[in-house]
Amino acid sequence: MSQIEVSASIAINAFLEAIKDAAAEDPNFRARLVHALDLTVLYEGDEQFEGANPVRQAKRWSMEAFKRIWSSAKVGQIKAAIKAHGLATTTDMKGLNKAALIELLYRRAEEKSRNDGRI
Amino acid sequence: MRIAIANMKGGVGKSTTAMMLAESLAVFHDKRVLVVDCDPQANCSQMLLSYHGLLNAKAAHKTITNWIESIVGKSLHGEVISEHSASECIQFDVSELTNFEESYWNTIPSQGKVSIWPATPDLRFAELLFDGKNMNTGDLQNPTMVLKAKLNEGLKAVETNGTITIFDCPPGFSTLAQSALLVSDAILTPLTVDPVALWSLKTFWNQGLRDNLRIPSSTPKMALLTMVRSAGAAEEKQRIRQELSAFSPSARLSTEIPFRSDALRMVNRIARDSKRSFNEKYGSLRTSVKALGDEVMQKLIAGSEV
C-alpha cells in the first residue's frame, strides 16, 4: 500500500477516472459496465455494437427493440457478432441479407439465452 | 449391421466417435445410419440434435427414456402410459450436414441419412424402473434379456436392408448397454493413448464382454485410439500401440483420431436448424473422420464375408 496520504474525494475521483479511461478504451469492458447497470442503454453510431452481447440483449430487450437497434449496424458488424458468440455457421449466413441476418441473430441469441443446461 | 461403441472407461471419446462414424458412413458410404444413444449423459443426442432439439424431443416424448417407460407401462412420474413403438421415439434424418443436399455447391449428394434415438439424463432411472419390474428372484439377468428382446424387436421394425445401427454405450454395464452389446454384430472400443485406458480395454473385453456377457469371440472387435497428441511421449505412444496390437492383433484400427483444439467446434451443434458442410464441421479432423468410416466399413465387409 502507498504511503501517500490523499483525501477521500481525490482517491475516489482517481478510481473513477481509471474506470472511465478503461471503459473508453475497451468496448468489452464498457459493455460489461452497461450490463451491470441493468438498464437498456442506447448508444449512438457504431459504438453500440462493439463488445455487445446479443445473448444478454435478447434476454433483456423486446424483439422490436433488439431489431431496431441492430438495424443500424453494418452487415459486417452483425456477422462479427454472430461469429463471436457462436450463433451460426458460415453456411447458415450464406446469402442472407441484412434483415435476415438480424432475424437470425435475434432468433439464435434468444434461444441461447434460454439454455439453462436442463434437459 | 449393428455396432456398439463401448468401453467401461469414461472420457475416451465414445459419443464423439459414434457421431463421427455415423456421419462418415452416411456421407461417404451412402448409409442410412441410426444412432441409439444408450448413455444418460445424452451427449451424442445433444451433438446431433442441438440442446434445444433435444429439449423438443423430450417434450414430444420421443426419446429412448420414454420408450423404456412405455414398456414398463408407467412414467417416472407415475403416469400410466401405453407402449410406444421404436419408430415413434426416433428422430429421423437429423444431421446438420449439407452434404446430403443436392443444392450444395458441386458436392455429389449422398443418399445417406443419420437418425437418432435420443437419450435424456433420466434414462438410468427409467432403466431402474424397468429392472424393478423385470427382476425375478434368482434371475438377475432377466431385465437384460427382456430389454434385449424388446430392443431387437423395435430395431427390426425400423432397420432396412443396409441400415447401420450405432449404439453409443455409457461407461459400465447398464441394462440398456448390456442389451445393446448383446444385439450388436461388432464392437468398437475407443481408448486414449495411456496405460490405464489400455488396461481398461483389456478388462472390458475379457471380463465384461467374454466372461460376463458371454459375447462370442467371433464377434468382431475394433480398438480406436482417440485424442492422440502429435507431440511428445513418442515412445509411450508406440509402446501402447504395440501392446494393443499384441493383445488383439487384428483389432487395432490403423486410423487414429488426433487431438485437435477445433474438435470443440464439431461437438457443438448451434441449433436444430443450423447447417454446415462435413469439412466445415470436422475441419482439420475431416480426413481422420472419413478414414474412420472407410476402415470400419472395410472391416465390416471383411467380417461378413468370413
The minimum CA-CA distance between B55 and chain A, rounded to whole Å, is: 6
Q: What is the pLDDT of residue B177?
A: 98
Check pLDDT > 80 for residue A51.
Answer: no
- Burial code of B31-42, b = ≥16 C-beta within 10 A, e = fewer? bbbbbbbbbbbb
Q: What is the pLDDT of residue B21?
A: 97
CB contact under 8 A, A89 and B46: no
Sign of CA dihedral B295, B293, B277, A87: negative
Residue of A115, A57, A45 lying closest to A82 (CA atoms) = A57
Neighbours of B157 (CB within 10 A): 10
Largest CA distance in chain A: 62
Say yes or no: B98 contacts chain A, CB-CB below 8 A: yes
Q: B113-117 and B164-168 as β-strands: parallel, antiparallel, unpaired? A: unpaired
Say yes or no: B51 contacts chain A, CB-CB below 8 A: yes
Say yes or no: B7 contacts chain A, CB-CB below 8 A: no
Q: What is the pLDDT of residue B106?
A: 46
CB contact under 8 A, B275 and A90: no
Spatial distance between the Cα atoms of B177 and B167, rounded to a whole number of angstroms: 8
Q: Mean pLDDT, to the nearest integer, of B127-156?
A: 92
Q: Is the ipTM of this complex over 0.85?
A: no
* Separation in Å, CA B182 to CA B3, B21, B144, B150, B163: 10, 20, 9, 12, 18
Reading the block at residue B83, the C-alpha cell is 407402449
Say yes or no: B55 contacts chain A, CB-CB below 8 A: yes
Per DSSP, the residues of A19-83 read HHHHHHH-HHHHHHHHHHHTS-----GGGGGTT--HHHHHHHS-HHHHHHHHTTS-HHHHHHHHH
Give the nearest partner residue to B280 out of A86, A89, A115, using CB atoms: A89
Residue B13 CB contacts under 8 Å (≥ 6 apart), including other chains = B190, B192, B226, B227, B257
pLDDT single digits (tens) B261-288? 878 889 999 999 999 999 999 999 999 9
pLDDT band at A4 (very low <50, low <70, confident <90, very high): confident
Chain B neighbors of A88, CB-CB under 8 A? 270, 274
Residue B53 CB contacts under 8 Å (≥ 6 apart), including other chains = B46, B91, B94, B269, B271, B272
Spatial distance between the Cα atoms of B201 and B192, rounded to a whole number of angstroms: 10
Q: What is the pLDDT of residue B161?
A: 84
Spatial distance between the Cα atoms of B283 and B263, rounded to a whole number of angstroms: 8
pLDDT band at A42 (very low <50, low <70, confident <90, very high): low
Residue of B214, B126, B139 lying closest to B178 (CA atoms) = B214
List all residues of chain B from 199 to 258 with a beta carbon under 8 Å from chain A. Answer: none
The rounded radius of gyration (Å) of the Cα atoms in chain B is: 19
- Do residues B159 and B3 touch, judged by C-beta distance below 8 A? no
Give the nearest partner residue to A91 out of B42, B120, B280, using CB atoms: B280
Nearest CA in chain A to B97: A91
pLDDT band at A46 (very low <50, low <70, confident <90, very high): low
The rounded radius of gyration (Å) of the Cα atoms in chain A is: 18
pLDDT single digits (tens) B59-89? 999 999 999 999 999 999 999 999 999 999 9
Is residue B118 classed as helix, strand or coil in its secondary structure? Answer: coil
pLDDT single digits (tens) B155-197? 999 998 889 999 999 999 999 999 999 999 999 999 999 999 9
The minimum CA-CA distance between A103 and chain B, rounded to whole Å, is: 14
Most A-contacting residue of B39, B120, B274, B282 (CB-CB within 10 A), to test interface: B274
Spatial distance between the Cα atoms of B178 and B234, rounded to a whole number of angstroms: 36
Spatial distance between the Cα atoms of B289 and B118, rounded to a whole number of angstroms: 22
pLDDT band at A44 (very low <50, low <70, confident <90, very high): low
Q: What is the pLDDT of residue B149?
A: 97
